[in-house]
Each structure stands twice: as C-alpha cells, then as structure tokens.
Structure 1
Amino acid sequence: MTDEHPHHPRLAPLPEDGWDPSARELLAPIPRDADGRLPNVFTTLVRHPGLFRHFLPFGTHLLRDGRLADRTRELLILRTARNARAPYEWGRHVPLARAAGLTDEEIRRVGAGPDAQGWTPADARLLRAADELHRDARLSAATWSALAADHDEAQLIEITMLVGQYHMVAFFLNSAGTPLEPGFATDTLPAPTRTGDDDA
C-alpha cells in the first residue's frame, strides 16, 4: 500500500463566498474552529449536498451521542486513522483524544499497536479490534469474546460501525487530498510499522 497523498487538494474546500443557500443550511449547525472557519472535511463534503445531508447525522451520533466512552471512541479512531494513513483524520482527532483523557505518550504509542508495552488489557483489546477490522473486515472470535466481557451488545455494534465510519471518511479524505488546517498540523501521523500482520 502506498503512503502517497496528493500534494494539492483534488477537491478544494468550498469557500464561504461560494456557498449557496443549501450549503449554508447544511453547514450552519457545525461548530467553527477558533479561527472562525469550518473544518475542511465539511466544506469539501458539502459539494455533494444530498449525501452530506444523510452523512452528518450518523457521524454526529457516533461522535457525540454514541454508547462508547469518549476515550474508547478516540482510541479506536486514532488507530483507524493510523491504519488508513489518514493525516487529516489523525490531526483533527488528536485534540479530541487529549480531551478524552489520552496522554501524549499514549497517543504516540497508538502507532506501535496493541502489543506495545504500557497498554491496559482493555486498551490493547480495542487497538486489536481496530486492526482486525482494518485487515480482515471482521473481529476474530477471541477479540469479540474479550470485548464482550466489558461492552454490551449496543457497544459491540458501535465498535464495528465506528471503525467502519472512520475508514470511509479516511478513504474520502485521502483521495480528495483534503488539507489539514494549520492549527492541527503539528500532530503528525505515526509512520507505519511493517512487523508481522499489523499492516497487511
């Protein structure tokens, strides 16, 4: 798998002076960054307003109203961003991961995967789940059973759907060449390791 990303956006974020009434309606509920601008992921996706209208409620539910703990959610998203080699997704979620209680050392360790020293068994199970879904499109019986010990049925469903959602978003971001906003650019995506089946 190549690590190449477009040097320039293939689909540029739609500038605010180019928003039509439909785009303004769709983008109105989205919180702006500290500089007053909307994240590029949304101003690019809004180029397909019909899809955007259906995409946003699902993604918002997973991010804000889901059944998983914030820390669990962000750990799964960071590992997915790393597996999909999605620098925009990684950069935007590092601050959310910190807010959810992940330390900078833990965030760096996400790149090393579930077998790195320092993870709790619960964290290692989540990272392994993200890796299995990325590699095999399913959870192994052992990982499902381990996760079921501390997650209910709804949370098990959400783990698989969350990882799938952020793969889908990574596919779009990587292919469109969506640029990461400057304020988030200092948090770099961990380089892939090629030890064993981690990056199959």
Structure 2
Amino acid sequence: MDWAIEKARERVKSSPANAVNVSATLANSKVLGKIIAGSAGVVMGASNTEPRLREIVILRMGWNCQSVYEFGQHQMFGRSVGLGDAEIYAVTRPLSQGRWGPAEAALLQMVDDLHADDCVSDATWADLCGHFEPSLVMEYVGAAMSYRMVSAILNTCGVQLDEGVPTWPTAPAGG
C-alpha cells in the first residue's frame, strides 16, 4: 500500500486539496479509479459550469450525503474559486437560512431534489432554466450526480480525511 500512497501524492501535488487517501483507496481498483477520475476530470476541467457555482453544487451534495471527505476537499476547491467561510457554512443550512442569489438558490434546490429522489422537480427545472441554458442545467445535474456517486464511494470505503483538510464547518463569528 505504500506504493499507492506515494503514487497518489505525486498525482495530487498540484491540486489545492490534499487527496492522497482517496487516490490510495482508488488504486485498489483501476476500473473504479478510471471511472471517478474521468468523471471528476470532466466536471472539474472540461465543463462549462461556472467554477464557484459548481463548487456550491458539489459542497451541497457532499453535505447532503454526509461525506466529510468530499466536503472537506471541496471546501479547499471552493476557497480557490472565491467561496468564503460564511458561504461554505451556508451550504450546510436550509435554503431559507441562506443569503443566496436566485441562481444559487435554484442550484441548491436542484441538489436537494436530486438527493431526495434522484429527480429534479418540474418547478426547480423551470427555475434553473430561467438562469441557465438547458445544456448548462444538464451539466450542473451531471456534476451533482457525479459527486453523489463519489460521496457514496468515499463513505462506503471509509476514506479518512487527509492531513490539513478541513472537517465540517462551524458558524462564522457574528454570522
């Protein structure tokens, strides 16, 4: 397993997150590793989604799935695209408690819909299409569902947080 950890460290050294443990875990299954790497590569690199909004979607799905590993990693990615502590904390709260703009609220509702029953409600879909082209809505759905799969795998495999990766957020002071 030491070889897998060293290989994982090399692969993730340019990332804003320290993802050694997930890389070492996925080294146990080349097929699963390729599926997740391919999916994450598209969502994180080849997608037309706006990075800040994409991270809000991923964080909400990580929270809904109670995947502390996913949430911790994407706090770091979120900060790298401009999310602050108050926004990251707000992702964990009911929509009514956040100060989200209309497009952000629609995306958060989309994630909640998908987590509840793997389907975006007609009302949420219509709301999303008021903010985004349908093709972009599909990409946000794809991002959410990709990270639902990743969250489930991380939880199932018991992947532990890497050194320096934050855990669940706490309410910001004065907020």
Q: TM-score range by the shorter chain?
A: 0.7 to 0.9
Q: Does 1:62 align with 2:49?
A: no
Q: Does 1:115 align with 2:102?
A: no
**Letter of the 1:159 counterpart:** Y
**Letter of the 1:15 counterpart:** D
* Greater Rg by CA: 1
Aligned to 1:15: 2
Gaps of 5+ in 1: 1-13, 191-200
Are 2:5 and 2:20, in contact at CA under 8 Å, matched by a contact in 1?
no
Alignment CA distance shift 1:179-1:148 (3 Å): same
Q: Does 1:183 align with 2:164?
A: yes
What whole-Å deviation, never above 9, does each CA across 1:38-67 have from its counterpart, x for those lacking one? 521121112111332343122111112211
Q: Select the residue among 109, 116, 131 that pairs with 1:128.
A: 109
Alignment CA distance shift 1:117-1:91 (3 Å): closer
Shift of 1:152: 1.5
User: Residues of 1 paired with 2:25 and 2:74: CA distance?
Assistant: 18
Are 2:88 and 2:169, in contact at CA under 8 Å, matched by a contact in 1?
no
Are 2:69 and 2:154, in contact at CA under 8 Å, matched by a contact in 1?
yes
- Count matched residues: 169
Superposition RMSD on alpha carbons, in Å? 2.4
User: Residues of 2 paired with 1:77 and 1:32: CA distance?
Assistant: 21
Shift of 1:30: 3.0
Are 1:87 and 1:180, in contact at CA under 8 Å, matched by a contact in 2?
yes
Aligned to 1:197: none
Partner of 2:95: helix, strand, or coil?
A: coil
User: Residues of 1 paired with 2:98 and 2:9: CA distance?
Assistant: 44
Aligned to 2:155: 174
Gaps of 5+ in 2: 171-175
Alignment CA distance shift 1:89-1:117 (3 Å): closer
Aligned to 2:78: 97
Are 1:90 and 1:189, in contact at CA under 8 Å, matched by a contact in 2?
no
User: Residues of 2 paired with 1:123 and 1:43: CA distance?
Assistant: 34
Q: TM-score, normalised by structure 2?
A: 0.86
Q: Select the residue among 38, 41, 46 that pairs with 2:22.
A: 41
**Letter of the 1:188 counterpart:** W
User: Residues of 1 paired with 2:69 and 2:122: CA distance?
Assistant: 32
Aligned to 1:195: none
Q: Does 1:155 align with 2:142?
A: no
User: Residues of 2 paired with 1:54 and 1:171: CA distance?
Assistant: 14
User: Residues of 2 paired with 1:124 and 1:64: CA distance?
Assistant: 24
Q: TM-score, normalised by structure 1?
A: 0.76
Shift of 1:94: 0.3
Query: Runs of 4+ in structure 1 displaced over 4 angstroms?
Result: none
Aligned to 2:173: none
